[in-house]
Chains A and B, each alone.
Chain A
Amino acid sequence: MVHVYEFMWRVLHVLLHIHRTLITLFRIRLRNWNGQLWSRAIAALLVPIALSFPKQKKLVPAPGKRVGRRYRWGADGKSLEKLPDHIGLLIAEEEPRYTDIANLVVWCMAVGISYISVYDNHGVFRRNNSRLMEEILKQQQELLGLEGSKQHSVEFLSNGTDKQDHQVLSCQSVVKVLSPDDGKLRIVQAAQELCRAVEQMEKTAKDINVTVLDSLLRESKTTPDPDLVLKFGPVESTLGFLPWHIRLTEFISLPSHVDVSYEDLFSALQHYASCEQRLGK
């Protein structure tokens, strides 16, 4: 009897994988065809299939042009009820594509998001920090043009530096590259620091509370906690992303960052704008 159940389990998972593959295939095909009639027809076909397997909240990206019109990005940002102050781009077990990440960062800047963090759980971005920065600057020129790049300047924060006060520029965004070491390891280091302070009689145990720990873990006094994390990739987990900072973060999943479009990003932002946070009340 056990073998029968095992067999049926395998069949079930094969079906689920086929379902996933079909969705991915249609997503890519729809994007290429770009015809309204086709996309509506296929969507009509897909919807019953999608509904028959109740899934958690995932956005099926709408088909759309890869390069949107740059003048409307800022207006789009202003049209939203709320925009995250700090957005996290979490690449969950996907081979990183620097151009696509750079596009996402530039779009986030153009829409008006001030703090952008990029994370992957293998520390690949951290190790290739300069390559990512170059790619972002390159895409900034390409997508925003020379004028746009002057308007939207970007500051890259590396680990340990404090955000300095620059002269006032019209729109400035801060980009930070994160790795798992910024998560639990950083909390452990803060704990060791506090421990040393107690050993040296500079503090007592009673002085250790959430506020003290929070200020130690904050990169700079002005950096807010991530309001929104966009997770790209097949794995449904935070994979070590800043455990302390994500207590109120909204998580929105997108299937992949490969060939991601501005429309994908914007529909996630629209979704975020409709979230209601009650903060315990």
Chain B
Amino acid sequence: MSWIREGELNLIEKLSANILKAGPMPKHVAFIMDGNRRYARKRQVERQEGHTQGFDKLAETLRWCLNLSIHEVTVYAFSIENFKRSKDEVDGLMELAKQKFIRLLEEQDNLEKHGVCIRVLGDLTLLPLDLQQHIARAVVATRTHNKCFLNVCFAYTSRHEIANAMAWGVEQGLIKSSDVSEALLSRCLYSSNSPNPDLLIRTSGEVRLSDFLLWQTSHSCLVFQSVLWPEYSFWNLCDAILQYQLNHRPLQKARDQHREGQALQQHEADRACLADLLQHHGNGKPLDAQRRQEALLNYTASREERVQDFLGALQHKRDSFLTDLTSQAALA
């Protein structure tokens, strides 16, 4: 399969993998695959060759992740900022992406066998139409697979993701402004169907996030490695996982504390909304403790129902966008 290299680990690699797997393993790893162009300069080859080798390395890394029982991987393939590059380079990258998605569609049987679900996160409307259609076909074809998940961020920046999530939430009038919460915003992001990444790895020695998953990685383990992406090795990956294991307990604790804080804030917000409602629509008589408690539970339940309906509508909108693209492609 072109997107996931076939093959097994050698003996030493298998041994190391088994040792690592005795400890806590990340379920979702995110990669910023940086260093393709520097690699090309180093090897004195064309830039495009650097990107192609970068893709091959992605295929190899996905194989390693599967061997290590890491079933969800998110990669930063193309940022909205990358449109600033020379027209030649951008066109080359779009062409590479198109070829890879076409290849992917040819290997549908393999994808089904391995249960690979491909998702593309980003503002697809910024891409050339033919690429949009290929992407849509790949995503729709693998939608129901659920053994492993590959999320490709294409035409993506985190800030656009957050702003778009808000815009949509507000547009439909399906929710009230008081329903907006951290949990709701998370479910509106492109990555709503995935848990937050446990581990974020950036290669090539840069130590910044470059507008990648800023919301989702607030409590993830960040590992910055100096190796260039096309030179990434199994041992680099093991090193990153070791870092994750060393940070696992404190991060888990911090995450739990944050979640508790969130739940408390939501509870307080519900009470405040209820008090507001009673003030405006109540008959003036103060409620006793039990009636108050009932009213609070009712309010919470109705809020959650509103939110569920809204999220259903959002998912439907996104699915329709993709299916429309595929029917366009079929007609063409």
Contacts and interface: CB of A to CB of B under 8 A. Distances in A.
Interface stretch (B61-69, B76-84, B300-308): B76-84
Interface string B155-171: 00111101100111111
Contacts of A205: 167-168, 170-171
Among B23, B221, B223, B254, the most chain A Cβ lie within 10 Å of the Cβ of B254
Contact of A279 (B23, B84, B173, B251): B84
A208 B168 CA distance: 9
Interface in B172-198: 173, 175-178, 180-182, 185
A275 B218 contact: no
A56 B225 contact: yes
Contacts of B171: 198, 204-205
B49 interface: no
Contact of B207 (A5, A93, A195, A252): A252
A9 B83 CA distance: 45
A146 interface: no
Contact of A275 (B163, B170, B206, B217): B206
A6 B208 contact: no
A160 interface: no
B214 A12 contact: no
A204 B185 CA distance: 18
A2 interface: yes
Contacts of A55: 239
B19 interface: yes
Contacts of B159: 210, 213-214, 244, 247
A196 interface: yes
A8 interface: yes
A235 B222 CA distance: 9
Chain B interface SS verdict (over half): helix
A280 B209 CA distance: 12
A188 B226 contact: no
Contact of A198 (B170, B209, B258): B170
A235 B221 CA distance: 8
Interface size class of A (residues with CB under 8 A): 35 or more
B254 A121 contact: yes
A56 B166 contact: no
B279 interface: no
Interface string B201-228: 0000111111100110111111111100
A243 interface: yes
B207 A247 contact: no
A179 to B, nearest CB: 11
A191 B180 contact: yes
A236 B221 contact: yes
A54 B176 contact: no
B247 interface: yes
Contacts, number: 172
A55 B224 CA distance: 9
Contacts of A235: 247, 250-251, 254
A5 B18 contact: yes
A183 B254 CA distance: 15
B293 interface: no
Contact of B23 (A9, A57, A193): A9
A235 B251 CA distance: 7
Contacts of A183: 218
B166 to A, nearest CB: 5
Interface string A186-230: 011001111110110000111011101110000000000000000
Given A185-B265, A213-B163, A192 B19 contact: no
Contacts of A204: 171
B132 interface: no
A9 B254 contact: no
B201 to A, nearest CB: 9
A240 B218 contact: yes
A248 interface: yes
B243 interface: yes
Given A187-B162, A188-B185, A238 B217 contact: yes
A183 B219 CA distance: 12
A23 interface: no
A209 B163 contact: yes
A246 B166 CA distance: 19
A75 interface: no
B166 A208 contact: yes
A250 interface: yes
A191 B169 CA distance: 9
Interface of B: 18-23, 79-85, 157-160, 162-163, 166-171, 173, 175-178, 180-182, 185, 205-211, 214-215, 217-226, 235-236, 239, 242-243, 245-247, 250-251, 254, 257-258, 261, 265
Given A54-B239, A205-B167, 20 more contacts: A8-B19, A9-B20, A16-B242, A56-B224, A56-B243, A188-B182, A191-B180, A194-B170, A195-B175, A205-B170, A212-B163, A235-B254, A244-B159, A247-B157, A247-B159, A247-B214, A249-B208, A251-B209, A277-B208, A279-B84
12 contacts: A54-B239, A121-B254, A184-B215, A188-B185, A199-B173, A205-B171, A235-B254, A236-B243, A243-B218, A251-B209, A251-B222, A281-B82
| A-B pairs with lowest CB-CB distance, top 9 | A280-B81, A195-B177, A205-B171, A9-B22, A247-B211, A208-B167, A6-B22, A196-B177, A5-B22
